[in-house]
């Protein structure tokens, strides 16, 4: 894209429309909402309660995997905080989640060069024998190289994939690498492997491996799966490059017990004119067991709770209802389904939804649903551009993991895209701690979320295709 476009033409491109008239005449119907949203924006830019919220959650609760005692302390914290902030209604939605508990996790090269390796089990992995699994390593520098192996050709081996994810601002590198973690154990087992290890889906160079979810295929034997820290993946590459067989011993001893109860907490700001019309924003309250859940996703929890608080602090409620949902099992992919089970029957009343789940960085881009009213979009972009947000030209198709099911049922979604350049340095590791969050960046995100949420909730704008919107 050329950088010589004017702002007007960029907006036109963003919305796929030709523009006529000035920005002012265009957005005049939303002048009142713009003024109100600008006020919230400027207030947040001067300082919001978001950092205090994430400081409190990470200090007083810390790691809170779905269904754990700590997760219940987190949901109690959320209920108490929503009430203290003056939310009109607070509800807790419970649902069952698998009970996977991390055990020991160690690994070492036993030959030809004995060295310790830093690994962590992937969430859901089966265990090795308690005394470990020893086997020769077959290392692939690209996942596609593993896929190119014939079935049965890796019998008895521990497969290691050391493909790196790329550092990108928008997380696309992680997206591209996701299958290496998600499907690697199945693909390795299909070819006869007895264990699977991947280079962490992380952009750092620390001895801190990144956990994350994975899947098994009922038709393929389940083998233990773990992530190596980046420097350990480098080490195995250097050893296998030397051509002598490399033998590794890995021990992971996770266990699975009876299901646990997860809790999604919803704080509501009840609309003054159209309370039955709902705008859903939020973040997820659960974290990985390894992390303290500051960037993933204490930040999203704090940003959206604080955005709601900004709206609550106004003299009147917005026309529509705003719900701030703090989902209780995002990391293991169980909260969205449970949320849709509760709210799916009223999906038509859900105007739009969006989840904040990409850390504490600044919002850089805002994507709206395809076909969004151009006047409304221009009015909204005009407000958030002051905070440094540009329009995303491609319409939003993903509103966050916990809104996938509601989106599939027909709820439109928006996407407020943050700067995630460093996010995968810390994601899903013990390094996900409060010091990674810059208060001023968090406040900028609150400014943008407040403005977006208020403009949507305090207007009559519809995001569904005309037919649906007209009913």
Residues in touch with a second copy (CB under 8 A): 55, 58-63, 70, 113-116, 118, 205-208, 230-231, 234-235, 238-239, 242, 292, 429-431, 433-436
Name the residue nearer to a second copy (CB basis): 231 or 388: 231
Name the residue nearer to a second copy (CB basis): 287 or 450: 287
Least distance (Å) from a second copy to the CB of residue 442?
Answer: 16
Name the residue nearer to a second copy (CB basis): 87 or 100: 100
Least distance (Å) from a second copy to the CB of residue 335?
Answer: 23
Least distance (Å) from a second copy to the CB of residue 237?
Answer: 10
Name the residue nearer to a second copy (CB basis): 208 or 351: 208
Least distance (Å) from a second copy to the CB of residue 370?
Answer: 41
Least distance (Å) from a second copy to the CB of residue 58?
Answer: 8
Name the residue nearer to a second copy (CB basis): 87 or 423: 423
Residue 276 among the catalytic residues = no
Least distance (Å) from a second copy to the CB of residue 401?
Answer: 25
What secondary structure, in 3-state letters, does the chain show? Answer: CCCCCCHHHHHHHHHCCCCCCCHHHHHHHHHHHHHHHHHHHHHHHCCCCHHHHHHHHHHHCCCCCCCCHHHHHHHHHHHHHHHHCCCCEEEEEEEEEEEEECCCEEEEEEECCCEEECEEECECCCCCCCCCEEEEEEEECCHHHHHCCCCCCCCCCEEEECCCCCCCCCCHHHHHHHHHHHCHHHHHHHCCCCEEEEECCCCCCCCCCCCCECCCCCCCCCCCEEEECHHHHHHHHHHHHCCCCCEEEEEECCEEEEEEEEEEEEEEECCCCEEEEEEEEEEECCCCCCCCCHHHHHHHHHHHHHHHHHHHCCCCCCCEEEEEEEECCCCCCCHHHHHHHHHHHHHHHEEEEEECCCCCCCEEEEECCCCCCHHHHHHHHHHHHCCCCEECCCCCCCCCHHHHHHHHHCCCECEEEECCCCHHHHCCCCCCCHHHCCHHHHHHHHHHHHHHHHHHHCCCCCCCCHHHHHC
Name the residue nearer to a second copy (CB basis): 170 or 422: 422
Least distance (Å) from a second copy to the CB of residue 437?
Answer: 11
Contacts for 115 with CB less than 8 Å, ≥ 6 apart: 108, 109, 235
Task: Kindly list the strands in the beta sheet with 363-367, ordered across the sheet, starting from the edge strand earlier in the chain.
Answer: 390-391, 363-367, 415-418
Name the residue nearer to a second copy (CB basis): 142 or 207: 207
Least distance (Å) from a second copy to the CB of residue 115?
Answer: 4
Contacts for 301 with CB less than 8 Å, ≥ 6 apart: 53, 54, 57, 78, 282, 283, 284, 285, 326
Point out the catalytic residue in the list 187, 277, 330, 392. 330
Name the residue nearer to a second copy (CB basis): 237 or 348: 237
* Parallel, antiparallel or unpaired: strands 247-252 and 133-140: antiparallel
Q: What is the C-alpha to C-alpha distance for residues 357 and 404, in angstroms, rounded to an integer?
A: 13
Least distance (Å) from a second copy to the CB of residue 198?
Answer: 18
Phi, psi of 321 (to 5 degrees): -80, 140
Name the residue nearer to a second copy (CB basis): 316 or 435: 435
Mind telling me the catalytic residues?
A: 330
């Amino acid at each position: 894209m050329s950088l010589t476009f004017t702002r007007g033409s960029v907006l036109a491109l963003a919305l796929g429309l030709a523009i006529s008239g000035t920005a002012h005449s265009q957005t005049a119907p939303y002048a009142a909402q713009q003024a109100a949203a600008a006020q919230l924006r400027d207030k947040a830019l001067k300082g919001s309660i978001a950092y205090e919220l994430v400081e409190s959650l990470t200090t007083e609760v810390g790691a809170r995997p779905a269904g754990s005692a700590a997760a219940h302390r987190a949901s109690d914290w959320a209920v108490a905080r929503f009430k203290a902030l003056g939310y009109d209604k607070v509800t807790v939605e419970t649902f069952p989640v698998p009970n996977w508990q991390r055990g020991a996790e160690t690994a070492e090269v036993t030959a030809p060069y004995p060295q310790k390796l830093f690994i962590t089990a992937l969430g859901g992995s089966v265990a090795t024998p308690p005394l470990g699994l020893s086997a020769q390593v077959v290392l692939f520098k690209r996942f596609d190289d593993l896929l190119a192996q014939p079935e049965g050709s890796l019998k008895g081996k521990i497969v290691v994939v050391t493909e790196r994810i790329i550092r990108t601002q928008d997380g696309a590198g992680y997206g591209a690498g996701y299958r290496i973690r998600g499907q690697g154990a199945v693909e390795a087992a299909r070819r006869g492997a007895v264990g699977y290890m991947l280079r962490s889906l992380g952009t750092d160079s620390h001895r801190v491996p990144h956990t994350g979810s994975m899947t098994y295929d009922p038709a393929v034997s389940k083998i233990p799966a773990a992530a190596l820290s980046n420097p350990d993946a480098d080490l195995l590459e250097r050893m296998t490059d030397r051509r002598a067989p490399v033998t590794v011993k890995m021990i992971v001893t996770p266990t699975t017990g009876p299901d646990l109860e997860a809790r999604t907490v919803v704080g509501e700001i009840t609309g003054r004119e159209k309370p039955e019309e709902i705008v859903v924003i939020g973040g997820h309250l659960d974290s990985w067991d390894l992390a303290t859940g500051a960037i993933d996703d204490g930040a999203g929890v704090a940003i959206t709770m604080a955005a709601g608080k900004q709206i609550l602090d106004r003299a009147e409620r917005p026309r529509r209802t705003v719900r701030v949902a703090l989902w209780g099992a995002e990391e293991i992919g169980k909260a969205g389904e449970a949320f849709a089970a509760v709210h799916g029957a009223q999906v038509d009343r859900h105007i739009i939804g969006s989840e904040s789940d990409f850390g504490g960085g600044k919002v850089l881009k805002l994507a709206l649903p395809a076909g969004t009213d151009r006047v409304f979009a221009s009015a909204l972009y005009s407000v958030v551009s002051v905070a440094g947000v540009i329009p995303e030209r491609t319409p939003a198709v993903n509103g966050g993991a916990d809104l996938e099911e509601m989106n599939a049922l027909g709820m439109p979604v928006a996407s407020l895209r943050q700067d995630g350049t460093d996010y995968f340095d810390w994601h899903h590791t013990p390094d996900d701690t409060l010091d990674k969050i810059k208060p001023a960046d968090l406040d900028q995100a609150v400014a943008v979320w407040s403005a977006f949420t208020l403009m949507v909730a305090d207007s009559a704008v519809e995001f569904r295709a005309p037919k649906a919107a007209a009913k």
